[in-house]
Amino acid sequence: FINAIVQCLCHTEQLALYILRKGYELDIRNIKNAILDYQHSSTSQPHGFKVTKSFVQIFQALWNNSSNTTSKLSYDFKTTIGNLNRQYSGNDQNDAQEFLLFLINTIHDELNLVANGRVRQQAKNSFSSTTISSQSSSSLASVELARRAWSDYTDANQSIITSTFSAQLHSTLRCNQCKQESKTFEPYLLLSLPIPQKIIKPVFITVVFLNQSPKQLQIGLCLPVTNTVKDVREAIAQQSNLDPNDLALVEIQQHNGFSQVFHDTEPMSRLTHDLYAIQFPSSITESN
């Protein structure tokens, strides 16, 4: 799971250019200067940038094809992550998306360019949502409210992570009785999207050969339900080592005999249980 996320981040264009152009070095210098100024009136601990520096080293090794050092750097990176979060200290598998959120949040905390050290320490909690009731927002358009909420967020969060991954969700809750509305503006770094799953349908076909022994062979296929008869015919031909143009899909019922021919443009859902794929001589199929 760590390797998958590191590979994804290393091939995120905006983040890759930021590291290749050494933008992180300038940000780290600016942050260190801001922290030094703040420490004159505070006892806060120096900023370490451990995760950022470790990630940059892995990034550079991958982009430079430094296979001799990648293994050690990967071990050091995992050790650094494990020291910050015990969940990742062992060898157990973890959720990749959860690790991605932890990693980019940590890098954001280290590279947050907000100048005031006190605000920097509070920035970890700045991903909270902003809720505005209809009484205070009746004279303001949703666009203006969203702009203000986003401005409040960016005032406390300025890093390569926020400029690359951050966005804002707007949701409205309305009471059906009193008609009062509550608008919520919530910043986020990741947005989960469902991946459409193919619905598979089993199809059983009896193939009738022209000049082959045995003359009949029953095969089973699992195909997406969105397929057409042509797709089924081509899949049968591939399994049977035949030319799909020499096959015709027909329905032959046990008691009534030949019933119908299925045409290429028909959906696969029209296929019945009494399905036969009959091989014809090429000359016949071409003339038809």
- Judged by average pLDDT, the poorest of 108-122, 213-227, 243-257 is 108-122
> Nearest CA to 160 among 10, 14, 280, 55?
14
Segments making up each domain of the chain, as ranges = 2-125, 200-287
Calculate mean pLDDT across residues 243-248: 91
CATH class of the domain at 200-287: alpha beta
Count Cα neighbours of 240 within 13 Å in the Cβ-side half-sphere.
33
The answer to whether 259 and 274 are in contact (CB under 8 A) is: yes
The 10s digit of each residue's pLDDT in 45-79 is 445 789 999 999 989 888 887 766 777 888 888 88
The 10s digit of each residue's pLDDT in 5-50 is 999 999 999 999 999 999 999 988 888 877 666 555 444 444 578 9
Q: Residue 91 carries which DSSP code?
A: S
Domain 2-125, second-level architecture: Alpha-Beta Complex (3.90)
Cα angle at 220 between 282 and 251, to 5 degrees?
A: 55
Q: Reading across the β-sheet that carries 247-253, which strands appear in turn?
A: 216-224, 200-208, 275-279, 247-253, 257-261
